[in-house]
């Protein structure tokens, strides 16, 4: 077991038995569950819509080499510029080049998991460029010096009291401040930043091939300000966000909203097709789209698991996962936590280091059940486990253990060689630590079923 796995187990144990964390997350999940159920009740033929979304994403992944150039050609026609980034280092370098070429010193950002993935804020800070998050949750996380807890609600793990204390320390606001007052204070602090920023950086929820556009979904309006005021707009987008046509948004917008927050539709849905055109009154003078690979083609090459790339980042699988609810988002130590993160992270960041995430699951199947694009998530986790074994990425002790178990189970004389007392002793000796100190080891009967049967005993 590698260091990452050991740290994961230690962090999981600590977080799972933290009462305050459990109370905050349970409250947030309860609110989500109620909104989610209301949202689903308003949808007709939900399963059919999921199948349609799955089919669209299947078509995209099977033809990504055709859709990406189509998007690029259509985007270039409108005066936009496309940058192809193989990895995080290349993406950061290209973004820095744009900023330095423009002589810019300040960047305003809207919520983007892709920029979290490449650690853009930290990179820009090293090069003396101020990069400020404008999404309220992300802004709070940035003030705390933390990473997002959840891909949709980055500050889910914080209570109102936690945020009030933070604002009191940073800005001198009263400790009994209301949520509305907190939001108003953040608005006052951020509004002037939109006007001062030289560059706006966003992600995108979808890339649209036939119109050469990107689509951004949000609830606060900060992305619209980020893409409107600064002279330069840079969108960092994973290549898997592609959809064939603008008409496909009638499937994905409602599904993303309902599964993400329980809304019928999010408050702001924006389609951007390039920089400001002649005769237009607002928008950036330059617009760039950074198409990010960063391990995605590694997953695309896995025929059995490439459906992990169908994900539209709604976060529904995190919200229903009993493991995520207990150990929290930061414990995963990867940009994408929860079930879907456990599927894609080993392929994007290395099976050797992140194979343990595929075991961080009860395999209850709830994640698969709620997925709006019908990704067979719990099956993907099992396939990841298979791959780790086939690639020889398991400890020698584990290999020997399974080898002995297989031999014993295939031969009755070996199974019966040790009595129940000895088997229980061996289990305590070898498995007590891995089984966990919070669980009791099962007791093996003193005699096997076959011996009991031969002796005339009839097990109940």
For residue 243, the cross-strand partners are 208
Q: DSSP alpha helices (H): ranges in 102-215?
A: 113-117, 120-126, 136-144, 160-171, 179-196
| Tens of each residue's pLDDT in the chain, 460 residues | 447 899 999 999 999 999 999 999 999 999 999 999 999 999 999 999 999 999 999 999 999 999 999 999 999 999 999 999 999 999 999 999 999 999 999 999 999 999 999 999 999 999 999 999 999 999 999 999 999 999 999 999 999 999 999 999 999 999 999 999 999 999 999 999 999 999 999 999 999 999 999 999 999 999 999 999 999 999 999 999 999 999 999 999 999 999 999 999 999 999 999 999 999 988 999 999 999 999 999 999 999 999 999 999 999 999 999 999 999 999 999 999 999 999 999 999 999 999 999 999 999 999 999 999 999 999 999 999 999 999 999 888 778 888 888 888 888 787 777 778 888 888 888 778 777 777 888 888 888 787 788 888 765 5
Domain interval for residue 414: 396-454
Single residue among 273, 294, 315 that ends a domain in this structure:
294
Is 57 found in the same domain as 176? yes
Q: What is the pTM of this model?
A: 0.92
Angle between helices 64-77 and 46-62 (to 10 degrees): 90
> What confidence score (pLDDT) does residue 424 get?
87
Report how far residue 281's alpha carbon sits from residue 289's, in angstroms, rounded to the nearest whole number.
Answer: 22
The token duo for 454 is 């031969």
> What confidence score (pLDDT) does residue 1 get?
41
In a domain, 147, yes or no: yes
> What confidence score (pLDDT) does residue 289 get?
98
Single residue among 236, 266, 294 that ends a domain in this structure:
294
- We report the CATH number of the domain holding residue 248 as 3.40.50.10420
Handedness of CA 25, 26, 31, 35 (dihedral sign): positive
3-state secondary structure of 289: strand
In a domain, 362, yes or no: no
Report how far residue 281's alpha carbon sits from residue 279's, in angstroms, rounded to the nearest whole number.
Answer: 6
Is 120 found in the same domain as 236? yes
In a domain, 112, yes or no: yes
H or E element, residue 201:
strand 199-202
Report how far residue 57's alpha carbon sits from residue 206's, in angstroms, rounded to the nearest whole number.
Answer: 11
> What confidence score (pLDDT) does residue 2 get?
46
DSSP line for 86-116:
SSHHHHHHHHHHHHHHTT--EEEE---HHHH
3-state secondary structure of 232: strand
Is 400 found in the same domain as 290? no
In a domain, 350, yes or no: no
> What confidence score (pLDDT) does residue 132 get?
97
Handedness of CA 329, 330, 331, 336 (dihedral sign): positive
Contact 339, 377 (CB under 8 A): yes
Tally of structural domains, the chain:
2
In a domain, 249, yes or no: yes
The token duo for 408 is 């014993």
In a domain, 324, yes or no: no
Contact 174, 168 (CB under 8 A): yes
Report how far residue 249's alpha carbon sits from residue 335's, in angstroms, rounded to the nearest whole number.
Answer: 26
In a domain, 64, yes or no: yes
Is 288 found in the same domain as 428? no
Is 156 found in the same domain as 273? yes
> What confidence score (pLDDT) does residue 239 get?
98
Single residue among 294, 313, 347 that ends a domain in this structure:
294
In a domain, 355, yes or no: no
Angle between helices 136-144 and 179-196 (to 10 degrees): 90
Question: Of 391, 304, 400, 311, which is closest to residue 354 (Cα–Cα)?
Answer: 391
């Amino acid at each position: 077991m590698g260091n990452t796995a050991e740290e994961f187990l230690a962090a999981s144990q600590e977080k799972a038995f933290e009462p305050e964390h459990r109370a905050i997350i349970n409250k947030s999940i309860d609110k989500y569950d109620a909104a989610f159920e209301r949202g689903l009740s308003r949808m007709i033929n939900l399963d059919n819509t999921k199948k349609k979304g799955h089919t669209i994403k299947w078509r995209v992944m099977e033809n990504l080499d055709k859709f990406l150039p189509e998007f690029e050609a259509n985007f270039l026609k409108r005066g936009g510029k496309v940058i192809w980034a193989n990895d995080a280092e290349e993406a950061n370098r290209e973004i820095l080049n744009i900023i330095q070429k423009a002589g810019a010193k300040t960047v305003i950002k809207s919520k983007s998991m892709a920029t979290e993935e490449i650690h853009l804020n930290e990179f820009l800070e090293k090069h003396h460029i101020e990069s400020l998050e404008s999404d309220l949750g992300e802004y709070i996380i940035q003030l705390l010096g933390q990473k997002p807890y959840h891909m949709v609600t980055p500050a889910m793990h914080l209570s109102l009291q936690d945020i009030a204390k933070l604002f009191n320390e940073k800005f001198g606001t009263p400790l009994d401040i209301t949520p509305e007052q907190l939001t108003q204070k953040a608005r006052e602090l951020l509004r002037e930043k939109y006007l001062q920023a030289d560059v706006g950086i966003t992600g995108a929820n979808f890339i649209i091939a036939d119109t050469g556009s990107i689509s951004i979904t949000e609830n606060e309006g900060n992305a619209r300000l980020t893409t409107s005021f600064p002279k330069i707009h840079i969108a960092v987008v994973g290549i898997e966000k592609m959809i064939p046509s603008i008409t496909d948004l009638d499937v994905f917008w409602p599904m993303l909203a309902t599964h993400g927050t329980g809304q019928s539709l999010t408050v702001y849905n924006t389609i951007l097709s390039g920089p400001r055109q002649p005769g237009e009154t607002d928008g950036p003078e330059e617009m760039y789209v950074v198409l990010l690979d960063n391990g995605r083609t590694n997953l695309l090459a896995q025929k059995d698991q490439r459906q992990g790339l169908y994900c539209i980042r709604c976060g529904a699988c995190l919200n229903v996962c009993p493991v995520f609810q207990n150990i929290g988002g930061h414990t995963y130590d990867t940009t994408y936590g929860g079930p879907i993160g456990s599927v894609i992270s080993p392929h994007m960041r290395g099976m050797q280091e992140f194979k343990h995430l595929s075991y961080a699951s009860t395999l209850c199947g709830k994640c698969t059940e709620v997925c709006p694009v019908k990704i067979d998530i719990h099956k993907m986790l099992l396939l990841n486990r298979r791959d780790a074994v086939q690639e020889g990425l398991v400890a020698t002790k584990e290999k020997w253990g399974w080898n002995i178990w297989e031999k014993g189970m295939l031969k009755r004389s070996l199974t019966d060689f040790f009595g129940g007392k000895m088997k229980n002793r061996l289990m305590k000796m070898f498995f007590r630590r891995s089984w966990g100190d919070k669980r009791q080891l099962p007791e093996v009967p003193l005699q096997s079923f076959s011996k009991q049967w031969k002796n005339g005993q009839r097990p109940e």
